[in-house]
Amino acid sequence: MNDLLENDLRQLVRLAIAEDLDVAVDWTTVAMIDAERRGACQIVSRAHGIAAGVALVPWIIDEFDADLDVEVLVGESETFSPGTPLVRLSGSARDLLTSERVTLNLLSRLCGIATMTRRYVDLIEGTSARLYDTRKTTPGMRRLEKYAVRCGGGHNHRTGLFDGFLIKDNHLALGRSAQAGGENTADKSSNREGAADRLSAAEAARRAVAMRGGLMNQLVAPSIVEIEVDGLDQFEEVLRTGIDIILLDNFSLDDLRTAVAARDDAGVSVELEASGNINIDTIAKVAATGVDRISSGALTHQATSLDLGMDWTGGFAT
């Protein structure tokens, strides 16, 4: 939890409020509920899960400018069973009803991600592998969804394009090698689609390493350099370039083991990350190959919202 997370959450809640209320009011609640009516309710889980976002509920309620008191009943990352109350809200009955859906939507989403993440983490327990998320997140919800991954016991990959180098095949295909850059104009034109124009993985890695932690236009470049490789030949090409992480994309289990052994034999400290086709059925076998990291977009883009509800607890008064 930090200022960036709070700022993202508040912006998201403002958008959600605008979706529900536009420039009007909750007409049904205004028609049915007296303005002086008071009450209390609890957000209750209908399923087993992992808590994520419960500590953020006070910020959600604050954006509604609601006359409500918030009591968080479980800790973030805590395991809960069906029927467990997560948060207690009390105060204006109108505000309880108006803020209900936005609050439940956000909590359900974050708890769902944390719950899926914990399932993956449990499957690789006892290995040296750590589980990481990706940038395959819901637009506008990245920091929140990555927060939920941490609540589930996972780790965060880079937040965005701004805080880490990750060289992928398209960077190699669209980049220009130093050799191509030294040709005359006619040669460049004729080779624009050819191999001479394509960056080698080793050259790309060295470029990023040279820029790592340096200054450009008063901006500090990221301190971590990672490159994606798609085969053992490319892996060998970048192994000794001084990068921090090599992402082994869609490697077979045998090739993952070969890469781990080659790294260890070379005596270099680069971390190896497996990615591609990582799911509940495959992750344990991948972790057993000895890789240091496993990244999976499924933690966020395939997670389903956890079933949460709002149960009224009585205590209504005028």
Domains annotated for the chain, with CATH where assigned, are 3-121+304-312 (3.90.1170.20), 127-301 (3.20.20.70)
Residue 130's pLDDT band (boundaries 50, 70, 90)? Answer: very high
Residue of 187 and 307 predicted with greater confidence? 307
Q: What is the mean pLDDT of the chain?
A: 93
pLDDT of residue 261: 98
Catalytic status, residue 168? yes
Which is the catalytic residue, given 34, 36, 46, 101? Answer: 101
Catalytic status, residue 293? no
Residue 281's pLDDT band (boundaries 50, 70, 90)? Answer: very high
Q: Report the pLDDT averaged over residues 191-196.
A: 51
Which is the catalytic residue, given 63, 145, 226, 249? Answer: 249
Examine the pLDDT at 185 and tell me if it is beyond 70: no
Strand order in the sheet with 85-92: 68-72, 85-92, 38-45, 308-312
pLDDT of residue 1: 83
pLDDT of residue 183: 45
pLDDT of residue 188: 43
Q: Report the pLDDT averaged over residues 21-40.
A: 96
Which is the catalytic residue, given 136, 150, 212, 257? Answer: 136
Catalytic status, residue 101? yes
Residue 309's pLDDT band (boundaries 50, 70, 90)? Answer: very high
Q: Backbone phi, then psi, for 304, in 5-degree steps? A: -105, 145
pLDDT of residue 213: 93
Examine the pLDDT at 82 and tell me if it is beyond 70: yes
pLDDT of residue 182: 46
pTM reported for the whole predicted model: 0.91
Residue 198's pLDDT band (boundaries 50, 70, 90)? Answer: confident
Residue 108's pLDDT band (boundaries 50, 70, 90)? Answer: very high
pLDDT of residue 298: 94
Residue 180's pLDDT band (boundaries 50, 70, 90)? Answer: low
Examine the pLDDT at 193 and tell me if it is beyond 90: no
Lowest mean pLDDT among 63-72, 223-232, 238-247, 308-317: 308-317
Examine the pLDDT at 197 and tell me if it is beyond 80: no
Catalytic status, residue 193? no
Q: Report the pLDDT averaged over residues 159-167.
A: 95
Q: Report the pLDDT averaged over residues 152-164.
A: 96
Which is the catalytic residue, given 168, 176, 188, 257? Answer: 168
Examine the pLDDT at 310 and tell me if it is beyond 80: yes
Catalytic status, residue 228? yes
Examine the pLDDT at 184 and tell me if it is beyond 50: no
Q: Report the pLDDT averaged over residues 278-300.
A: 96
pLDDT of residue 317: 53
Percent of the chain with pLDDT over 90: 90
pLDDT of residue 266: 96
Residue of 195 and 2 predicted with greater confidence? 2
pLDDT of residue 179: 67
Examine the pLDDT at 57 and tell me if it is beyond 50: yes
Residue 189's pLDDT band (boundaries 50, 70, 90)? Answer: very low
